[in-house]
Amino acid sequence: MLIDKIVANYFVILEKIEDHIESTELELIRDTDLISPGHLMHLKKQLIQIRKHVYPLRDEIRKLQRDESILIDRKTIKYINDLYDHLQNIIQNLESFRDTISNLMELYSSTISNKLNSVMKTLTVVGVIFIPLTFIVGLYGMNFDYMPELRYHWGYPVVLIAMLFISAGMYMYMKSRKWF
pLDDT in tens, 19-37: 999 999 999 888 878 788 8
Residues 27 and 54 grouped into a single domain? yes
Burial of 174: CB neighbours in 10 Å, binned 0-12, 13-18, 19+ = middle
Residues 124 and 111 grouped into a single domain? no
Nearest to 18 by CA among 87, 108, 99, 82: 99
What is the C-alpha end-to-end distance of the chain, expressed in Å?
65
DSSP reduced 3-state for 147: coil
Whether the per-residue pLDDT at 109 is higher than 80: the answer is yes
Residues 95 and 151 grouped into a single domain? no
* pTM, two decimal places: 0.73
The rounded distance, in Å, linking the Cα atoms of 86 and 58 is 9
Residues 106 and 133 grouped into a single domain? no
CA 76, 49, 107, 23 torsion: positive or negative?
Answer: positive
Residues 77 and 49 grouped into a single domain? yes
The rounded distance, in Å, linking the Cα atoms of 134 and 144 is 18
pLDDT at residue 56, as a whole number: 95
CA 8, 11, 16, 17 torsion: positive or negative?
Answer: positive
Residues 125 and 166 grouped into a single domain? yes
Helix-strand-coil split of the chain, %, nearest 5: 85, 0, 15
Residues of the chain above pLDDT 70, percent: 100
Provide the domain limits for residue 125: 120-176
Q: Which helix (H) or strand (E) holds 61?
A: helix 37-66
pLDDT band at 68 (very low <50, low <70, confident <90, very high): confident
- CATH code at position 94: 1.20.58.340
Residues 157 and 132 grouped into a single domain? yes
Q: Which helix (H) or strand (E) holds 2?
A: helix 2-30
> Residue 69: how many CA atoms within 13 Å on its side-chain side?
8
Rounded to whole angstroms, the maximal C-alpha distance in the chain is 113
Residues 160 and 106 grouped into a single domain? no
Residues 108 and 56 grouped into a single domain? yes
More confident residue, 100 or 1: 100
Residues 27 and 62 grouped into a single domain? yes
Predicted confidence (pLDDT) per residue in 49-67, tens digit: 999 999 999 999 998 888 7
Choosing from 115, 138, 165, the residue where a domain stops is 115
Number of domains in the chain: 2
Residues 110 and 135 grouped into a single domain? no
Residues 12 and 95 grouped into a single domain? yes
